[in-house]
Structure 1
């Protein structure tokens, strides 16, 4: 299943008997199922970027009387779906139907008009407020719960967000106003600034910007990497500079080198951590990146050179994504990867995606 997940970005659903449970509460009777025995199942689901669709019906899909241990019931059968599948079939529901010819329930997947409140089992794409309460109490994210409920990239992004030491409640903040409160005036100013543009990053006019984004979305890259490019281009990645603006961290200084403010440009190009990766690269950019350039400035310059160096733009974005991902892993206490390894993984991602999506002859 893990091998199949990397061959295509098409929506998919995997349904049937997995002969394993995800949580201890999915079993009744018999011995206790240890967390370590379930962890391998979680890891495969996360690597495949799938999620449990949930169910309507009994809490258990399999039951059997095991002599001295009595009746044992488990939820072994389920439907695992990709995010794109949920988007394509938002009204789909999985029903558990009892049968007398098997010790497993019958699985029935169909589109319905059931209201969400009548649906049982794990919710898809939800965030439980109690997780945040637990995190506030210990001042640490619950890594196991994040791994169970979020995609791997989402989990890394969440772990990269520092928790406040004051244990204050969350609130909505409008980033375009110093007070954090939304005003029509601040929104109007924001629109005017976007229309005027400033530098290459915002493009001189709307048509040029649309042309640039259209070219980026057409690149032969995984959707998650293009989404990263979109966030970097909009300057909305969770860099320390952006976190400091929102009062999440006390300052925006890079915690890896301590030499400068951790802007997106510093993170991806000028930090010693990033420089190690680019030093190991086999290609040289056909220009020098200025300290004042934004992410879109670099992409626009690379796009001009695309006819001379095919796939350079794709490899550059994939490498930047690898640097960002590795940085978040280090920030969350992980081991991280060497620069050569990050570059090699980026090259493999680009090549594997190209091969998988080549027209069949």
Structure 2
């Protein structure tokens, strides 16, 4: 089976290292070898200092394309042995990780070659924007007790001095290199979040001039640990008379940012018994800084009859697994 090779280059903006000045003299060309067959090259055009090239070069014959998500649409050049992403009028918002990989294609079907990938992180420096711009002025960061939490104070100048501060009580939060660390490509990282870390924080950056303040981050501690949904089920009545209206409620308490899907099995299902199923969710505060997501699914049976008696089974599922619970409703 014959495969053709396609190289994809794109900025992924997750978080090698390049330092660019989009509005000043460009640095010398840099070749960065990332994998045995992948080389990422970044160059600037001296005649056009705001024009930047990111080249994905494959050391074998291939056709190269690019996929990208940036603030200003770049142009892509497809050449015989490499793909070239050209980003014009770059800004501080373009700071981030640029990646490329090889695709093996057979006709219209392509698959990624995991052994041939590469990435490089590029800083687009702007003295007026020490922090990488965001689309909001306030963000929520959830503190999970079983995984690190990232406060994404990313900067455009890697040499900038960046500190983390609590709004109230007003104080600097010191990094210790163990529990709280700073990564110039990600931000401040709480390795083992606790409820003591909740509150409003912001970052302060300074580099040869007046300091700048980041947006504010509300740190909310997640009371429910990660895992399959913690599910309960309850019926409005476990003994119903003919003609009654019966509701069965399935409830999940979970992490604020984890969605839950519900599925029901009920006695009248095989008879195509009409029922009403409604799903909803909301965030609830369980003390200052403690937030839980409560997800609900209600199955409503009107004019209860013989075919409705039996087990009502609710299955709640999230990305970490599923939980099934049941309750029995009798006809009296």
Query: How high is the TM-score relative to the length of structure 1?
Result: 0.23
Q: Decide which structure has greater strand share.
A: 2
Q: Decide which structure has greater helix share.
A: 1
Larger gyration radius, structure 1 or structure 2: 2
Query: How high is the TM-score relative to the length of structure 2?
Result: 0.25
